[in-house]
């Protein structure tokens, strides 16, 4: 199963009938997919499920409908198990960014966290989930695939938000603060905490 978000509304691609309990099953084709996305962008549809006869083959087909952008980021814990958050566009988020040519996803994840947060001493632990979201740009739809990694740090210096990326705050949050932040974040970020 794949879950792709548009305006925090899920598009589910599945090869299982039971995953369609809360929405009608749609046939996977470019016209249907783009119609659903447009309706989601206009807040007229809040969920859609596409039935796939061959999930991996249909997932590749689905990706072909979009300009695909790949990004990588980190779920960074300090020594007290607090998690690093950034604030951008009035929402709490996790640091991530575009994978540059010639970079591995792991290298991009570390670089982006360092750049967006002004942090050092990052240690990559393991790969976490991959999230997907669709957004309009220049009269076409883009599919962003974000690879997430668990990281830890011993950094105790000042955190510095990357203002040119519209980040206004960088902070480590404890478990209570994380629960509050998850009330003002994106659905794909919430997935990382399930």
Q: Is residue 143 part of a domain?
A: no
The CATH code of the domain that includes 118 is 3.90.79.10
Domain that holds residue 33: 2-64
Tokens of 112: 């982006």
Measured CA to CA, the distance from residue 133 to residue 7 in angstroms comes to 8
- pLDDT tens digits, one per residue of 78-110: 999 999 999 999 999 999 999 999 999 999 999
CB 8 within 8 A of CB 190: no
**Model confidence, pTM:** 0.93
Given this model, what pLDDT does residue 25 score? Answer: 82
Total number of domains in the chain: 2
Q: What's the pLDDT tens digit per position in 35-53?
A: 999 999 999 999 999 988 8
State whether 101 and 82 are in the same domain: yes
Nearest to 72 by CA among 144, 161, 141: 144
Residue 23: band (very low, low, confident or very high) from pLDDT cuts 50, 70, 90? low
Output the six-digit token pair for 90.
């009035």
Q: Are residues 54 and 98 in the same domain?
A: no
* Pair 112, 53 in one domain: no
Structural domain contains residue 35 = yes
In a domain, 141, yes or no: no
Boundary residue ending a domain (41, 64, 87): 64
Cβ neighbours for 49, distance < 8 A, ≥ 6 positions apart? 11, 12, 13, 14, 19, 20, 23, 24, 25, 26
56: pLDDT strictly greater than 80: yes
- Residue 136 scores a pLDDT above 60: yes
């Amino acid at each position: 199963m794949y879950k792709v978000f548009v305006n925090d509304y899920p598009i589910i691609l599945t090869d299982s009938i039971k995953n369609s309990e809360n929405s009608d099953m749609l046939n996977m084709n470019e016209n249907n997919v783009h119609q659903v996305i447009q309706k989601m962008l206009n807040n007229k549809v809040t969920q859609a499920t596409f039935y796939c006869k061959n999930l991996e083959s249909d997932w590749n087909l689905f990706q072909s409908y979009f300009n695909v952008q790949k990004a990588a980021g980190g779920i960074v814990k300090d020594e007290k198990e607090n998690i690093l958050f950034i604030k951008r566009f009035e929402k709490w988020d996790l640091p991530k960014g575009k994978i540059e040519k010639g970079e591995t996803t792991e290298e991009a994840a570390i670089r982006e966290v360092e750049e967006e947060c002004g942090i050092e001493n990052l240690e990559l632990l393991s790969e976490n989930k991959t999230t997907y979201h669709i957004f309009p740009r220049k009269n076409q739809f883009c599919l962003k695939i974000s690879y997430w990694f668990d990281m830890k740090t011993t950094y105790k210096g000042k955190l510095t938000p990357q203002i040119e990326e519209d980040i206004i705050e960088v902070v480590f949050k404890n478990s209570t603060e994380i629960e509050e932040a998850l009330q003002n974040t994106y659905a794909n970020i919430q997935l990382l905490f399930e």
